[in-house]
């Protein structure tokens, strides 16, 4: 499944691009991109939106990708300042059998559902999770309201859906449409002119025939 690193990178990234996930390549580089992560349902993170920054090393998948949160999240195993993630499965126990879909759909959502308080990067979050679950969940919601609502996400990173709106029709396309309509009108005018010319010719021919008939009658 691993094969040549370059081919494996292309294969895994293409699978991700063709999935339902929002993926944005950085400078069209398949080894560095952003992914929109939606908070898992039935967890305190439901309703939140986070941007993940992903970098693939040259020897991927033999070496694990580098992944971090861009906007802040309150979680025992995620550093608030850097967004670094402490997760064995994408660090010490990484396997070439894993791919990017596994990370986005299974590993990171699994970490949000079941934090590991014994190996924290955020001591405050780890302490609250163990001692005061209600306050822990309130703190998560507080961070979502500050950094990870849909409105805050769009303000920070924009919205890729806007790229496909009707307003994105270029001026060049509009010019083409206008020019096509003008050409059609000119063609219609040409047809009308040709019809008038044919009508005038017919009148001339009829007039010539009448003059000839009159001359014949005189004879």
Residue 86 known to be catalytic: yes
Do residues 52 and 34 make contact, with C-beta atoms less than 8 angstroms apart? yes
Residues in the chain, how many? 219
Q: Which residue's structure tokens are 């292309």?
A: 10
User: What one-character DSSP code corresponds to residue 114?
Assistant: S
Q: Residues near 120 by Cβ (< 8 Å), separated by ≥ 6? A: 76, 77, 86, 126
Do residues 9 and 1 make contact, with C-beta atoms less than 8 angstroms apart? no
Strands 66-69 and 29-38, by their bridges, are unpaired
Q: Which residue's structure tokens are 């691009």?
A: 17
Q: Which of 23, 37, 86, 108 is catalytic?
A: 86
Among all residues, which ones are annotated catalytic?
Answer: 86
């Amino acid at each position: 499944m691993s094969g040549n690193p370059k081919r494996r990178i292309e294969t895994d990234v293409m699978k991700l691009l063709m999935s339902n996930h929002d993926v944005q390549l950085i400078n069209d580089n398949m080894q560095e991109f952003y992914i929109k992560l939606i908070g898992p349902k039935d967890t305190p993170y439901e309703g939140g939106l986070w941007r993940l920054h992903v970098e693939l090393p040259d020897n991927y998948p033999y070496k694990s990708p580098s992944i971090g949160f861009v906007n802040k999240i309150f979680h025992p195993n995620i550093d608030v300042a850097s967004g670094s993630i402490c997760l064995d499965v994408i660090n010490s126990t990484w396997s070439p059998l894993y791919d990017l879909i596994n990370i986005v759909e299974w590993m990171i959502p699994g970490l949000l559902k079941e934090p590991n308080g014994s190996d924290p990067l955020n001591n405050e979050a780890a302490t609250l999770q163990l001692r005061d679950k209600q306050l822990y969940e309130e703190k998560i919601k507080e961070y979502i309201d500050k950094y990870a609502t849909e409105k805050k996400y769009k303000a920070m990173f924009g919205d890729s859906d806007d790229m496909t709106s009707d307003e994105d029709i270029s001026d060049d396309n509009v010019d083409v449409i206008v020019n096509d309509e003008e050409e059609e009108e000119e063609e219609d005018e040409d047809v009308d002119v040709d019809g008038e010319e044919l009508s005038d010719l017919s009148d001339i021919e009829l007039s010539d025939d009448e003059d000839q008939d009159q001359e014949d009658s005189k004879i």
